[in-house]
Amino acid sequence: MVHRMIAGIGTQLRKGVAEFCVLGELAREPMYGWQLASKLGDRGLVAGIGTLYPMLARLRADGLVQSYVAPSNEGPARKYYELTAAGAARIEEFRREWAPFVDAVNEAIGGPHA
Amino acid sequence: MRDVESNEPVGRYLADLDLALVVLPPATAADIREGVREELSGLDPDAARERIAQLGDPARIAAEARAEVDSVSAPRPTRTSTWYIVVTGVAFAISGFVPAGFSLLVGLVMLWVSPTWTRWEKWLATLAPGGTAVVAGVIVAGIAAPQAADSGVIVSVALSAGAVALSAANVVIGILLVVVGVRRVGIAGRGAAGAADRPSPTEPVRSVGQKE
């Protein structure tokens, strides 16, 4: 897992969107903790399991994610996380919001992307 | 799953992790511990060592989790606030020096209605001082019996010993309650007990590929 903890700006940006990134990954397929932490860690979106598990707990408390236990491909039983219907709706809402938001920020900050 | 813990580096890592996670709300700590245990189970020693290296220092994991939990939670419920913890501890500690047992009663009520301490800790704080007093009284009675002129002396000496032991034990318990409580919920206003800790619904067990 790549730990790319860029302090300051990166951290602030991540805080706003990290939970939606979790929802986005789970929208593709249910995953177990380590798998999710690896994927998001490789993208530099979470530092590791220390950040991920509290996020998952919040998402479960909010009814966006649920978990179940199932045998994994390698054999031992694992706890898998998946989106609930509410979670699927929420990530869809976020996708609709995100693109215009990125455009608006790009215009505001100027530079080569504007 | 015994094979996980019997694997030595894994057992050690999990033990270190448990120690580091003690500062977190119990539910968060349990989630992390279970996730790590699950990840390390079924691996041979070399793979386990590699995975442990990838996981990294338990203190760092706990610090990340703490930062994550604190950054989002609502202001701490009153019964887990620092002043509440301190008042509870003080109520126990001074109970031997304040007449009529009022302080101890206040301490016990505050202790039991607060989610700061675990059930086990609450029972310990409630029963240990009394138990200590009884033990002290019995020991002193045993020492005094062969030498005392009459049983009245034995009883009064035993009662005095018991009372002293009770006061001392309550001082210790009061201090411990404050130390454990503050460590658990932190000193800063934003803590995690309550807000992030809702229990998860029971998880159904399913076979691969089959969902309800």
* Greater model confidence, A4 or B11: B11
| Chain A residues within an 8 Å CB radius of B62 | 50
Residue B208 has pLDDT above 80, yes or no: no
- Going from the C-alpha of A107 to that of each of A13, A14, A64, A102, B138, the distances in angstroms are 17, 20, 32, 9, 81
To test the contact with chain A by mutation, choose from B44, B64, B198 the residue with the greatest count of A C-beta atoms within 10 A, namely B64
DSSP per-residue string spanning B26-72:
HHHHHHHHHHHHHHHTT--HHHHHHHHHHH--HHHHHHHHHHHHHHH
What is the pLDDT at residue B192? 41
Let me know: does B17 contact B61? Beta carbons within 8 Å: yes
Return the number of other C-beta atoms located less than 10 Å from residue B181's C-beta. Answer: 23
| Chain A residues within an 8 Å CB radius of B204 | 68-69
What is the pLDDT at residue B137? 93
- Which residues face A32 on adjacent strands? A80
Residue type, A27: A
Instruction: Test B36 with A49 for CB contact under 8 angstroms.
Output: yes
Query: Residue A80 carries which DSSP code?
Result: E
Tell me what the mean pLDDT of segment B161-184 comes to: 93
pLDDT digits (tens, 9 = 90+) for B53-77: 989 899 999 988 988 887 766 566 7
Percent of chain A with pLDDT over 90: 61
Residue from the list A32, A57, A66 with its beta carbon closest to the beta carbon of B28: A57
pTM confidence score: 0.55
Q: Is A68 on the interface with B (CB under 8 A)?
A: yes
- Which residues face A68 on adjacent strands? A80
Percent of chain B with pLDDT over 90: 42
Q: Is A39 on the interface with B (CB under 8 A)?
A: no
Return the number of other C-beta atoms located less than 10 Å from residue B175's C-beta. Answer: 14
Return the number of other C-beta atoms located less than 10 Å from residue B114's C-beta. Answer: 21
Residue B191 has pLDDT above 50, yes or no: no
What is the pLDDT at residue A40? 93
| Chain B residues within an 8 Å CB radius of A12 | none
Residue A14 has pLDDT above 90, yes or no: no
What is the pLDDT at residue B210? 43
Instruction: Test A33 with B38 for CB contact under 8 angstroms.
Output: yes
Instruction: Test B38 with A34 for CB contact under 8 angstroms.
Output: yes
Average model confidence (pLDDT) for chain A? 86
Residue B193 has pLDDT above 50, yes or no: no
| Chain B residues within an 8 Å CB radius of A41 | none
Residue B209 has pLDDT above 70, yes or no: no
Query: Any alpha helices (H) in B73-212, and if so which ranges?
Result: 82-93, 102-113, 119-144, 151-185
Q: Is A21 on the interface with B (CB under 8 A)?
A: no
ipTM summary value: 0.79
pLDDT band at B4 (very low <50, low <70, confident <90, very high): low
- Which residues face A78 on adjacent strands? A70
Return the number of other C-beta atoms located less than 10 Å from residue A81's C-beta. Answer: 23
CA A97 to chain B, closest CA, distance in angstroms equals: 22
